[in-house]
Amino acid sequence: MSLLSFLFKGHTMPEEVQVLDREDYKQAISKGKVQLVDVRTRAEFMSGHIKGASNIDFFQGSAFESAFSRFKRDKPLFIYCQSGNRSQRAARKLVDMGFKEVYDLKGGYRTWTY
């Protein structure tokens, strides 16, 4: 293992996860009914969210995992948070839970509103 791979281990996203910029994300979710999830807190969600998004708070531990039981693991799943940090952690967890295709909004909801 090289020094660089050691230093950056765990910082790369699994191949099942793609991070999309605002325009690509917007285009992807506009193609009909999609699995769209806001992983921010309820208060953050209530202050504004992408139309059609479900709210599943990443910080809710086992409730987070059980909430995803109603989603199809073999269909694309679109997630976002406020800045992109939480959703990257959520994306890794979702891949571990068996989701095959996860899309994350680069920069999070804050980039959506500009």
State the catalytic residues: 81
Q: Which residues contact 43 (CB under 8 A, 6 or more apart)?
A: none
3-state SS, 57-104, equals CHHHCHHHHHHHHHCCCCCCEEEECCCCHHHHHHHHHHHHCCCCCEEE
Q: Could you give the C-alpha distances from 92 to 16, 79, 86, 95, in angstroms and in order?
A: 9, 11, 10, 5
